[in-house]
Amino acid sequence: MYTMIQAGSMGVPFTSTLGYAGTDILERRPNDFKIIENPFDSQERTVVAKAMNPDVAIFHGLKGDRLGNVLVQKHGEELLLAQASRRVIVTVEEIVNSVDFEDSDGWFIPAIHVSAVVHASLGAHPTGVPGLYDADEDRINEYVKASGTDESFNKYLNRYVFEVGSHQQYLELVGLRPELEAVAR
């Protein structure tokens, strides 16, 4: 999928990738991957991946400002995803006056790629944010176990997503109180 997002971020209809050659993904996803003749060497064939341009991308960042600039963790694909997507919503640990594009704590995504910034402390939960809070292993294990069947996964989604009215209610449901939220910053 990275290759598909990469193509989408570049504005090209597809990109070449050798990573899927010889796998069954070509048979299972014929609308996304094709084998074509290499345009530079007619003796070779190559796998191409169709560009992906999501309607909406939602991800979590470290901080954002009111102009829409955000700082995300290093070593992620959020910038490519933001460039490929039609609309981008970023939840952030904190809203600041101005995100510095030279901030060494993360990677800068300019406002031109962001539709909305939403303050959501502990918004990466149950995963963690290095330097701010650790992953909640118990909740991640619960998620993995629930994903075993459609029935158990639907129960999980109802409990933690659909039946929760707000981010604050979610934090209370998983035992994270506002005073813990302040410590986690």
**Selection from 54, 52, 60, 20 nearest residue 36 by Cα:** 20
pLDDT of residue 178: 52
The region that residue 122 occupies, defined by phi over 0 for left and psi between -120 and 50 for alpha, beta otherwise, is left
pLDDT of residue 181: 44
Does residue 37 surpass a pLDDT of 60? yes
- Residue with structure tokens 């989604």? 157
Predicted TM-score (pTM) of the model is 0.84
Mean pLDDT for the stretch of residues 149-176: 94
Measured CA to CA, the distance from residue 77 to residue 132 in angstroms comes to: 20
Token representation of residue 138: 């118990």
Does residue 159 surpass a pLDDT of 60? yes
Rounded to the nearest 10 degrees, what angle do helices 150-157 and 137-146 cross at?
140
pLDDT in tens, 107-146: 999 999 999 999 999 999 999 998 889 999 999 999 999 9
Mean pLDDT for the stretch of residues 157-183: 82
Mean pLDDT for the stretch of residues 18-28: 87
